[in-house]
Structure formats: structure tokens, C-alpha cells
Structure 1
Amino acid sequence: MVQALARAGCAVTLVLKAPVRTGRLIDPLRALPGVTVRAPHAEGLVDPGQSMPPRVAGQILSRIDAEDPFDLVVVRGRRLAGKLAGGPLAGRLWTYLTDVPQSAGEFDGASKGELRRIADASRTLLCQTEELRGFLESAVPAAAGKCALFPPVVVLPEGLAARPDGAPEGRALRLVYTGKFAPRWNTYEMTSLPRLLAVRGVEAELHMVGDKIHDDPKDPGFATRMRTALETGRGVVWHGGHPRAEAMRLTAGCDVGLSWRHPELDASLELSTKVLECGTLGVPVVLNRTPMHERLFGADYPLFAASEDDVVDALALIGKNPEVYTLAVDRCRAAAAEYTLDAAAGRLVRYLEQAFPAPSESVLDAARAFAGAGPDGVLPESLPDGLTGDLMADVGAGTGLGASTDGGAGTLAVNEPRKLRVGVAGHDLKFFTRLLDYLRSRPDMEVRVDHWQALKVHDPDRGQALIGWADVVICEWCGPNALWYARHKRPGQRLVVRLHRFELYAGWPKHLDIDAVDEVVCVSPHYADLTREITGWPAAKVRPVPNWVDDHQLDRPKLAGAQHHLGMIGIAPSRKRLDLALDALEELRRDDPRFTLFVKSKLPWEYWWIWQRDDEREHYERVFRRIRRSPLLSGGVVFDAYGRDVASWLRRIGFVLSTSDDESFHLAPAEGMASGAVPVLLGWPGADTIYDPRWIHADPSAMAASIAGTVAEGRWEADRTLARDQVRAAYGLDEVCRQWTDLLARPPAPVHPARVS
């Protein structure tokens, strides 16, 4: 991690939790540019004889941070992260989680609560595998949107070369295992392999590296049996314990690595670093067949094994077939290539760019304009009436403005670039969360939120404070909040209102003082046109800025069979038209029963305002009766729980349906496209202004024909790649954030004398 962060351009401080007894690991890190190693025991921050439990480690980290605050703090381990979650480092944590319960049975209330607190306090949650990320997001909703992949990193010790190419010839097949000796790791069973292979005509020797023999309370005799087999087993060479570099050197001198384990470990969400080290060294590995391993090595990898007989069969096969051995080596090398130090640094660069966007000169120019400063950053000596007090108050508040001692009374200088002050006001910010995170992360903006308690419930004092401070105010929803800010905004202050479909057909826009609003943002060109038509507002004030799609989070590998899986996200109210999706599904299943519809949604009776309406209840009663009674639909519709784990859920989906009567944008198809699914839409009004017409169809029969043809003709891969490229270019998070940055970077609104009076 230290090497990858340093290579990604960070100034890294490594805090050691134990006294240094040998420089073998630490000295190379001390020599890296930009790396500082802090040893609390040697510095007297911890008693030399004292350990550093999580509580003490938290205190030490906070003390070191106070000397020169860090931008991010990478911490590994649940207990330590839990201690830091409630302290001053919260919000800056990049938590690397490996020690989480890995099954629903182990996931008790205490574990879930602790992980929720860690997720809330973490800027990023680093997960070793896609499987761990998906499990964490479904079990801990607060983790959704924060999880990023950071797989194991394989770094070969200096001077160690990979194994020469080619199968072993003219000598015994050398097998190798490195690590602990424990029952579920099948290490005792491994010691029988040379004898069993000899029966099959394959000469072999087994090299075992390690000195930790597990004492198993369930099997008191294991340690004795294991040691005896290591010391006396036929063809077994026990090397004892060695440093990592020497263990890897021994591995490079062998032909096949062993990572065959008990089936109980097949559900593990972690990826063995030793398997990747073997691949980097050109040593193929015998291991269990799991979805994770199939994704890495391919379903036809020749060294998958579930039993002792499977292991012997696989080893006998490669012992007698050099071409099979070469195939296994190539697969392992290709898999390990994704886990190099350069690959890890590249991942971190992407994450850092997202977390710490570069400042924009246009934003800083706008901030200077709002402050009344010129390009040189110096405020004019003569300030408009009423502003002097505000600026002097800002000096005391530590906003970056400092009083000059040599420029005369009332002269101020900017010590550092003044940030653009952005206020956000609204009762429900769920559609604005990632944009809000982005604005807060910008080094050239400062953000404050006036969160209304309800649609019409507001603290006017908080609103007045925001008006007195902000350069730009964004009203999320064109509701009572927009009306209030339009009435109370300061002259020259910019007001941006984001209007959704919901408000357009309500009464609030009719009462909005559009002269006080600088821009109205709609999520699609169609709704921008409708807004102009319905309200009569000036066309220049209404502009489309699309909904964002978190393409970074959604872009994940698909699961097997996804091309036969259709998905719908949200089926309530009835205008979402689940019935039309069922029409398409029936046609597909008439020819191919593998097609399945997965629905991720709250059910209609979970919305009181829907279920109280007779027409809505009747609609859904018909729909669910049809699903039960139709021979074609029976077993073909799966309802999944509503939740924030959409990115993980979409891994199984190959086509995302949109069958609504009307939508303002409909995010579901765009999210599906970002995940690598093909969008399939009916032509609701405005759909063609948001999505490529190639994805839009006349009726459910046309939808079904398109889906069937895409799969049968082998076009699914090409179509889903095209869809992902389209959504990334038009609605990707980076692109939408860029559009919002440009919008907010505009200079102050002109002050009209009539409004001042």
C-alpha cells in the first residue's frame, strides 16, 4: 500500500504499530521518495514495552495528524477502523476491509452496527474482491457508493526472476505449498500426494514452507499428525519457516503450487495473495473451483480440484501433457498481471482524482468576482456599502481573507484563493447526494446546506444565514424552498433551481418569481421544453443538465447467464407498467425459458399513497394474479428487495427494461447501460431526447424480438459495450460534474436598480 500510494503521487506517512526489530521490511520503504516512517515506540509516544491496541493506535494517529493534518488516512482492520470512526479522522478514512463476517449467519447486529459506523465515517471502503464489495453493499447499505476495489498487490522481491517457461522434463514434478498448516487448508492431505502420484506413474516431491502448525480444538491430534507427515512423509521436503522473499524464491524453483482447500472455504470473499504470487512467478496453481476463480482463470482452467482424487487427476494430467501445463501457466500469469504494483498505483490515481478534483481557474475567477476582487486577488479600497462588515467578519472566521497592516484602513488582501461559496437548500437531497459530495470535495468551493425538515418546514434563521454567506444558492426541487429563496436572495447573488417532473405539474412554479432566478435546471431536453411551454419562463433561463450516472461504481463484471436476464428497477406506481414487461417476457419464454425477469423494487403496498387508491390496487392484483397463473411466467419472475446495492444487483442483468407511460429521465436504463447491460425502452414522451433511438421500440413484441435477436445473433457483447460508451460520454459522473462546475462558475448576476430599491 505504501509503495502504491507513493507511486500514485502521494506524500505517505507510515505509522508502525510495533517496535522495529529488523529493517528488512522497513528500510526499503524509508528509501522511497515522499515516504516518512513514524515509529511511535522509538519516538517515545508509546512505552517500548507496551503494545498498541486499537484504542492506543487511535490516540497516536490523532496526535500525529494534529501536527500536520492528512488528506486521507488508510487503515486496515475492523477494530481499529471502529475506534477511529468516532474521532477526528472520521470523513478522511480510506478503510481497507478484509476481516468482515463473510456469511449472513455470522453477520449479527453488533457486527452490522460497527460496519455501518465505519462506512459512515469512511470516505472510501477498499475491498479486496468484487464478491466482498457486493456482499458488503447488500449487508451494510451505508457502504453502497463508497466501495472501491483494491485487490492484493504482488511485488516480487528485488533480484527474483520468474520460473523459466516450459514443463519439467527428466526430473520429479515439484509441488509447493507455503503458509500455515491447518485442517481446512488440507495441508495434511497434501503430504500424501507424492505417494498417490507414484501409483499413477508420476514421480513427484512436495516442498512445504512454513512453521505455524495449527492447534485445532476440534481435532486435538492434528498438530502431531501434521508434524509427523512433514518430517517423515514420502517425497515431502519441509523447509520450515522463511521470510517472504525466501519463500517466493523456493516457490519459483518448483513447478506447481497448491491452494486446494476444504469446501467450507469456497464461500470466502477474499483472494489468496499466494495464488497471485505463484502466477507472477509462472507457477500454475491447483485450487478449488469457485465463481471468483472461474472469473480469474476461466471455467476451463485445467487445475481446478474439489477432492483428493481431483488433485491427483489434475497433477497426473499435467505431468504427462506438457501442453496442458503450458496452458495452466499462461492462465495464471494472465490473472496475476492485473495485480502488479503499477496496476495498484493506477487504481489509486483514479480514486484520488475522483476524491480530490483539481481546482478550476474559472471557479476561482467567479469567487474573486463575488468577493469584489480583481484578477490580482486584491479587494478594492472602496467597498460597496454593507459589504465591509461582511468581509471583516470573514477575516475573523478564518475564510482566507487577512487584514493588511501596511495598506491603510479598510484595505484587505487575500492570503490564499477565496473559494466559491455554494449553498444547497431542499427537503430531500437523495437525487443530489453524489453531486453534493463532489462539490464538497472541490478545493475551490465551500459548501453549506440548508436542509429543510420537510417540504414546507423550514428554519428561516438558517436560510437567512445561508443567504448572507453564499455566492450561489442551489434549490433542489422547485418547491417552497425555491419560492422562499427567490423572495429573500441578495442582489447579485445567483439562484439556481433544479426542477423535477413532480413539481412541474404542481402549483409552485406558477408562484415563483422567475426574475429572481438565474437558471432553472431540468434533467432532460424534453422536460426543459415542457417547462418553458407550461410556465412561459424565458427560454434562456431553462437549461437541461442531465441526471448523473455513477459509471465508476456501476462498471462491474457480469455474472454468467446475464444475457438471458432482464431487469426492472422500480415498478410503482402503475404507470411504470410492469404488465408490459410481462408481455415481452412471455414472448421470450415461449421460445427460450432461460429468459428471466428480475425486479428490484419496493412492492406497491409499501407505498401508502399508492395502495390507498382503488385503481392502483386493482392494477397490481391483476398483474400478480397473471404471474401466478401464466404457464410462461411461472418461475420466470424474481422479486428482489429494494436497496442501495443496485451496482451489485446489476451484475446479473443483461437487459434493463423501461416500459413506463412517461418519465422525466428514467435513470434505470442509464444505470443499466453503465453496468454493461443493453437498454430496452418503449417510446415514452422524450425518451428519444435522452437515449439513442436504436434502444427504443414500438411495443412489447418489438422489445422481445430485439432482445431475442441480440442474443441469438451474438450481438450482446457489442451492443452492451456501445451502450456503456454512450452513457459514459453523456451522463457519466465526471461529465455531469463538469457541467455543474461550469454552471456554478458563472460570475455574479447583474444588480438591477429596481430590485435594489
Structure 2
Amino acid sequence: MGPLLRKRALVYGDVDLNLIDGSAIWAQGMVQTLARAGCEVTLVLKAPVRTGRLVDPLRALPNVTVRSPHADGRLPAQIPMPVRWAATVLAEVDAEDPFDLIVVRGRRLAGKLAAGPLAGRLWTYLTDVPQQAGDFDGDAFGELRRIADASRLLLCQTEELRCFLESAVPATAGKSVLFPPVVVLPEGLEPRAAGAPEGRALKLVYTGKFAPRWNTYEMTRLPRLLSVDAEVHMVGDKVHDDPGDPGYAPRMQAALETAPGVVWHGGHPRAEAMRLTAACDIGLSWRHPELDASLELSTKLLECGLLGVPVVLNRTPMHERLFGVDYPLFVATEDDVVTALDKIGLNPDLYELAAERCRAAAEDYTLEAAARRVKGYLAEVFPEPDPAVLAAAGGRKLRVGVAGHDLKFFTRLLDYLRSRPDMEVRVDHWAALKAHDPERGQELLDWADVIICEWCGPNALWYAERKRPGQRLVVRLHRFELYADWPRKLDIDSVDQVICVSPHYADLTLAKTGWPKEKVTVIPNWVDDRQLDRPKLAGAEHHLGFIGIAPSRKRLDLALDVVEELRRDDPRFTLFVKSKLPWEYWWIWQKPEERAHYEKVFHRIRRSPLLSGGVVFDDYGRDVAAWLRRIGFVLSTSDDESFHLAPAEGMASGAVPALLNWPGADTIYDTRWIHTGTSAMAASIADTVRLDRWEADRTLAREQVRRDYGLAEVCRQWTDLLAVRAPVAAPGI
């Protein structure tokens, strides 16, 4: 095959690139990142060009085209494009030569595009969203759900924003990925030389807009308040008009022009603003406490870090994770700022500690780091064609049909198959287990090269009776069907391959059905390891996780045994349960033995002194990746499982799995994670924490699950299966 063509990316932000602010810097960084990642990039401008400070460097990049709808005569007036015009213009530009991906910033714009021809190719960067659950209303939720459904990826600036979105809008889960700010040093600019300033005034610097909640007016007072000699250098020309304080703008302007010790440089291109920053000693990013709950990260912090300039900033969980809890320039009030600057101005060692923390924090936000991240997303969204797949279909795309009543366990695999350039996928979605439109099924039979039946139920029987000669039929069998009559009724001669998710259940399938050994193979459940791999929250090593408590054979009671034993010695251990409650499943709650089990369990939780405050129930939902950030150990205490995805998901998140030895557990998980009973499990967890083994164990667990059950590996196995015509032998059975 010839060389792969570059992916074509269209970029538009609802931002004015004549003004230097965070949104304009985002547009510049996004274009640079996509170009460095190997894309051909077209940037469409919102506003007519009045200054080339940000646009000209992009025009000079190879494989980048900058288009101005105003210069092209597409717009009747020389004003920034309203959202409704932008949606039309982007669709017109795309229609000329369709793009592979469309990167957009702006919630209102994305909402418009979600209903148009660009839906499905959107990579939507979300910032202007409610940042507290109480701020969500029905309109915001509905709009964000539509945007999520229409987006291939949702780009989130921070982990905090990603987790909040997944909790608030379930449709965003699985699509949300990180795209942090991108910091690029201008050509020829070197970071500030190491070492504290000596023999001169301390130079403080602020770059950006001047606004009340950014404390920029308060910054102009600092030279008068400090006991050390200092001056404040301020870069920018955008003074905010505050409707609540009409006097703010003239007051701020006057301070910039006349306040003692203030040097106002006015507006400058980004490169010059960074040069001015590098010539100073300490950056100022101290803001009003109202902004402490922000889910966004200031690009200015990272620019200062890359330049070796330490920053004064508010203490927040996000900032503590970046700079460390003992960072010496965390502040809350003006008095804190004065105290911190006086102290650091007199202590060279403290100054160098702060500078080094900022340098280290900025390393993950360089253009090279951003390009590596985006290359990974491009590889996931646009997998390379496989010659074997094309050969299996005689040189054209392989036609793959998927049939089933419930595709929740097949969702990411279906997304993957649809994304492949060498496959075409159609779905026959049954209304219920036995409810089917035969005309739709016949259309699939007439079209497909291979049909995948998700569940070995009535769908598998229907297709096995009707498949064409030479047409391949693959059936994925779960625990549920193995104990029903459908496998016994299935014409196995018409089936090319039966897929089981574990060797143990493959063995059980062969024993119960008598099917030929070569017809049964193992492809494990997938684990979305990239989505799950997120930083742990403080205290996670004392938090146990339990996902799904129904039916009773999940044995929540045994998990309670574990947490009781642990809390006898250390009350910090807590069990977090993420699950629907048993009475939410009518087919479970109608059984007397199930009700009796849970009544006993919940009575025990209420009455046990050791469990008091030690068991937390969290809502069932798709935000598992966000929830797992607080979990250090994931328990599996079931009587039996076909695979049990929960411990594997925990491993991918960086938690340590802890399993009881249910049948087949040792064919899926390393025996080091499997325990003979609840006492042994509790002892192992306690020792792991007490002996400081948690970090090493969780690193090993994450490596294991990525190697064996990572999404890319399982997708590769499915691709290999679909690329051959002959049956595939079952490994190790």
C-alpha cells in the first residue's frame, strides 16, 4: 500500500485573533499542535484581520492554510462572524473538499454544528460550560448531550473538567479526552537564567486582560506594600468594562499609567509578551476566590513555568497537583501575597525551589507533548487499513453486519469497526431479545460478508438458519445464554466462530454444548485503558471500590467482611459502592431470597460500629473513569463471573485488584491478586499500604491489563478474526 495521506483538519474558534487572551492562544496552539502531529490544517478566522500578531506566525507554518471569510467576500460586513454565520461558512468550506476532522471551540457554535453536515466529525473543545452541578438546567444539559452525540471527541482542558462533564452529562463519557493548554517558546527565546535576583528590584510580571476578578488593580499596589524593592510589569491592552463597577475601567487605566512602581508595556504579540516575562522574576496569577472552583487551567502559569519564572497563585486542588502542596507561593489574600513575596525576595533557596516546581509542571504542556497526545487520538480515530482485511473482501471494504438486542458490551468495538477505513458496518438492532424486523435482517443477509451476533440468543438462531453460502457468522456468547436453551438449538455447522470472553467459559461452553473445539475461541472483554488511566486523588490508597452489587451472587456481604477487618486497625479504610440498588431491578427484587439477602446486608451496614461511616453508596452511571480516581483497590468477591470487568477497569485506572478465587479467576487475572478468603484479602490490602507497596503494585496491575485487555489489543484480535475466512482455533483449550 502507498503512503498514508495526511488527515485534513478544519479549525475554528469563536475567538478574535486580533486580541491576545487565553482563547486566542488556544487557537494558535491548536493549529500548531495539529500541524506538528502530521495534519494539513485550515484555520478559519472569526474576525477580519486588523493585526497579524497571532495570525502571521501561523501563515508561515508548512501545511497550514489561514482563511478569512471577510477577505474571501463571504460576509457582507467587516465585523466578527456571529455564530449562525460561522456555522454556515464552515459547512460551505467543508463542502468544497470535506475534512477528516473539524475542531471547534465554543458551546453555542458546537450546538449549531451538531445538527448539520459536520456532525460525527467534530472534535469539540468545551470550556464555556456550567462548572457546578447547580448551574445546569434542562437547556444546558440537552445542548451538551446533543454536542456529545455529534462529536467524535470532546477535548477537555483539564482532568477536573473532564470528570465533571462525565458526571453531569453521561453522553460525554468515553468521548472526553484531554487537550491541555499548549505552551510554545518563541524561536530564539531562552528560559530565564536560574538563580534569585540580586542587587536590584524584584521584577513582578502580569500578562493578559485587566479585569476585577483577576486582581489586576490590586497588583498595581504591590510595589507600595512590599518591604523589598519591587516593580510590576504589566503587558496587555484589554481593560474590562465591569457593569457592576462602572468606575473600574478608568481606575484600572489610571493605575497602569501612574501607579508608582508600575511599568505598563501595552499590548504586544505573544512572542514579545513572553520575552518580557522571561526578563522578570516572578509571575502574578493571583485571582479572586470566586475563580478557585474553575475547572480551567491558566496558560500563563505554564508559560511562566517553561520560562523558569515562578508564579504567585491561589491554592486549589488542581494547583496543588501541579506544583505540590508545599509550593511556597500559594496565596489567598493581599496580605498573603505581600508575605510570600517579601519572604521569597529575601530567600534565594526558596526562590529556586519555586522556580523548579514551575519548570517541572510545565513539561507536560509543551508543543511536543501536545503533538504526541494528538497523534494518539488520530491513531485511535483513524486506524490504518489492514491488507488482510481488504484481501478477505476481494480488495474492497469488508462488509460487517452486527445484530443484537443489547449492544452495551459491544459499543466501543462497534465504534472501532466503524472507524476502520477497510470496513463498512451496518447494524440490525433488535427491539428486544425476541423482537425483530425480518426485512431489515434480510437486507443485512443480502449485503454482509460477515455477521457478528452479539449474544447467542434468538438473533444467532435466526441468522444461522438463513446465512448465505460463503458468508461468515460469528457469535459472541456470554454467561447469560450458556445456561439457557439457545446454544442447544443453534446449528453450529452454520457458525464459523463462537467467541467467549475467558478460557474458563470457553471450556464450559465446550462441555455443555459438545461443539467442535475449533469453533470456539477466546477474545477477552476490552478495557478502555486510555480513558481510565487518570491521576488518583489524595487518599485513594485507603479507598476500596465495588462496582455492581446485584444480584446477590456479587456478594457485597463479603466485601463488608473485608472493610470491617481493615477498619479494626485503620478507620481510614472506606468502601465506595457504585451501583444501582437491588430494588431498581424488578426481576431481582421480586425474588424472596434476593430481598432477604439485601435486607440482611443493609441492616448490617446500619448496625455495625465498624461499618458506620465506612461504606459510601454512589450513583450508578457511565462516569466510572472519574469515580475510579478516588479508588485504590477494586474488589471482586463474587460467587462466579464470566470475566468480571470491574477489577480490570480498576487496574487500568491505577488501582490494585483484589479477588476471591471464583471459578476461572486464575485464567483471567494474575494469581498474585487472588486471595483464599476475606481475611487474606484484608491482610494483603493492609500490608500493601503499610509496607508502601501500593505504588509498585498498581503500576504492575496497570501494565498487565494494558497488555492483555487494553482496547487496542482486543480490537487487534477482532480485526485478525474478521480478516480470515477459515475458522480460528481456540487458544489453550
Q: Same fold (TM over 0.5)?
A: yes
1:157-178 Cα offsets, whole Å, 9 max, x none, are 2332221111000011111112
Alignment-derived partner of residue 108 in structure 1? 137
- Structure 1 residue 170 corresponds to structure 2 residue 199: yes
Amino acid at match of 1:427: H
TM-score under structure 2 length normalisation: 0.94
Quick one: which amino acid aligns to residue 585 of structure 1? V
In 1: Cα distance, 2:419 partner to 2:356 partner = 43
Alignment correspondent of 2:371: 345
Please state whether the residue corresponding to 1:206 is helix, strand or coil.
Answer: strand
Worse-superposed segment, 482-491 or 29-38? 29-38
1:438 corresponds to: 416
> Where in structure 2 are the equivalents of 1:525-544 lying within 5 Å?
525-544=503-522
Q: 2:54–2:269: 8 Å Cα contact kept in structure 1?
A: no
Q: Report the residue type matching 1:210 in the other structure.
A: G
Q: Which residue of structure 1 aligns with residue 489 of structure 2?
A: 511
- 10, 24, 33: which is aligned to 2:53? 24
Identity over aligned residues, as a percent?
A: 80
Q: 1:292: which partner in 2?
A: 318
Question: Is the CA contact (8 Å cut-off) linking 1:42 and 1:48 kept in structure 2?
Answer: no
Say if 1:493 and 1:748, in contact at 8 Å, map to a contact too: no
Task: Return the alpha-carbon distance in structure 2 between the equivalents of residues 42 and 232 of structure 1.
Answer: 40
Equivalent residue for 1:460, pick from 438, 444, 461: 438
1:478 aligns with 456
- Is the 8 Å Cα contact of residues 401 and 428 (structure 2) preserved in structure 1? yes
Q: Retained in 1: the 8 A contact 2:34–2:371?
A: yes
Alpha carbons 1:204, 1:235 under 8 Å: kept: yes
Alignment of 1:170-189 (within 5 A): 170-189=199-218
Are the counterparts in 2 of residues 286 and 303 from structure 1 also a CA contact under 8 Å?
A: yes
Residue in structure 2 matched with residue 229 of structure 1 by the alignment: 255
1:44 aligns to 2:22 (yes or no): no
Inter-partner Cα distance in structure 1 for 2:142 and 2:254: 45
Structure 2 counterpart of 1:64, one-letter code: V
1:522 aligns with 2:461: no
Maintained 8 Å contact 1:179/1:209: yes
Partner of 2:719: 741
Report the Cα offset of residue 228 of structure 1: 3.7
Match of 2:596 among 615, 618, 624: 618
**What CA distance in whole angstroms lies between the structure 1 residues aligned with 2:162 and 2:520?**
40
In structure 2, distance between residues paired with 1:224 and 1:289:
30
Q: Distance in 2 between matches of 1:173 and 1:197?
A: 10
Alignment match of 1:303 (pick from 329, 332, 345): 329
Q: Measure the CA separation in 1 of the matches of 2:185 and 2:273.
A: 11
Match of 1:595 among 564, 573, 584: 573
- Which residue of structure 1 aligns with residue 605 of structure 2? 627
Quote the residue 1:403 is aligned against: none
Question: Residue 257 of structure 1: SS of its match in structure 2?
Answer: strand
SS at match of 1:582: helix
Higher deviation after alignment, 304-313 or 653-662 = 304-313
Please state whether the residue corresponding to 2:629 is helix, strand or coil. Answer: helix
Aligned residues between the structures: 699
**C-alpha displacement of 1:38:** 1.9
Paired amino acid for 2:644? H
Q: Any idea what SS the aligned residue of 1:719 has?
A: helix
Contact persistence 1:71–1:92 (CA under 8 A) = yes
- Identify which of 615, 626, 647 aligns with 1:669: 647
**Cα contact 2:548–2:580 (8 A) shared by 1:** yes
Task: Measure how far apart 1:59 and its partner are.
Answer: 1.1
Deviations 1:257-301 (A, max 9, x none): 011111111100000001111111111001011111111111111
Q: Does 1:495 align with 2:473?
A: yes
Deviation at 1:232, TM superposition (A): 3.4
Displacement, 1:242?
2.7
| Pick aligned residue for 1:422 from 396, 400, 413 | 400
- Is 1:271 the equivalent of 2:297? yes
- 1:158 is aligned to 187
Q: Aligned in 2, Cα 1:231/1:43: closer, same or farther, shift over 3 Å?
A: closer
Q: Please tell me whether the aligned partners of residues 48 and 80 of structure 2 are also in contact (alpha carbons under 8 angstroms).
A: no
SS at 2:353 equivalent: helix
Distance verdict in 2 for CA 1:41–1:183, change over 3 Å? closer
Do 2:497 and 2:727's aligned partners in 1 also have CA atoms closer than 8 Å? Answer: no
Q: Distance in 1 between matches of 2:199 and 2:78?
A: 55
Is the 1:494–1:749 contact (alpha carbons within 8 Å) kept by the matching residues of 2? no
The code of the aligned residue for 2:88 comes to: Q
Contact (CA 8 Å) 1:493, 1:749: kept in 2 or not?
no
> Partners in 2 of 1:144 and 1:686 — Cα distance?
30
Q: Which residue of structure 2 lines up, in the alignment, with residue 324 of structure 1?
A: 350
Structure 1 position 748, deviation (Å): 6.5
Deviations 1:114-141 (A, max 9, x none): 1100000000000000000000111110
Residue type of the alignment partner of 1:274: K
In the alignment, the residues of structure 2 paired with residue 2 and residue 182 of structure 1 have an alpha-carbon distance, to the nearest angstrom, of 28
Higher-Rg member (1/2): 1
Q: Counterpart of 1:89?
A: 118
Q: 1:468, 1:748 → 2: CA distance?
A: 21
Q: Which amino acid aligns with 1:629?
A: R
Quick check: 17-26 or 585-594, which moved more? 17-26
How far is 1:50 from its partner? 5.0
The answer to which of 690-699 and 6-15 deviates more is 6-15
Residue 749 of structure 1: CA displacement?
7.7
1:609 aligns with 2:587: yes
Does 1:69 pair with 2:47? no
Amino acid in the other structure paired with 2:255: A
Matches within 5 A, 1:115-264: 115-198=144-227, 202-264=228-290
CA deviations 1:539-569 (Å, max 9, x no partner) are: 1101111000000100001000000000011
In the aligned structure 1, how far is the partner of 2:210 from the partner of 2:77?
Answer: 32
Q: Please give the secondary structure, in 2, of the residue aligned with 1:33.
A: coil
Aligned position for 1:414: none
Kindly provide the amino acid, as one letter, of the partner of residue 120 in structure 2.
G
Using the TM superposition, name which of 672-681 and 623-632 deviates more. Answer: 623-632
In 1, Cα distance between equivalents of 2:59 and 2:198:
44
Q: Which residue type is aligned with residue 587 of structure 1?
A: E
Q: 1:122 to 1:299 in 2, by over 3 A?
A: same
Counterpart position of 2:553: 575
* CA positional deviation for 1:238: 2.4
Superposed displacement of residue 48, structure 1? 4.2
1:276 is aligned with what amino acid? Answer: L
| Residue type of the alignment partner of 2:319 | H
Q: For 1:96 and 1:155, how far apart are their aligned partners in 2?
A: 19
Cα deviation for residue 24 of structure 1 reads 3.4
Report deviation, 1:254. Answer: 0.8
Q: Give secondary structure in 2 for the equivalent of 1:94.
A: strand
SS at match of 1:105: helix
Q: Which amino acid aligns with 1:250?
A: L
Alpha-carbon distance in structure 2 between the residues aligned to 1:439 and 1:704? 42
- Runs of 4+ with deviation above 4 angstroms: none
Corresponding residue for residue 627 of structure 2: 649
Partner SS state of residue 739, structure 1:
helix
Query: 2 CA distance for matches of 1:496 and 1:680?
Result: 33
Match of 2:340 in 1: 314
Alpha-carbon displacement from aligned partner over 1:612-652 (angstroms, at most 9, x marks no partner): 11111111111111111111100011110000000010000
CA distance in 2, matches of 1:486, 1:187: 72
Where 1:661 maps in the other structure, the secondary structure is coil
The aligned residue for residue 400 of structure 1 is: none
The correspondence for 2:384, drawn from 355, 358, 363, is 358
TM-score when scaled to structure 1?
0.91
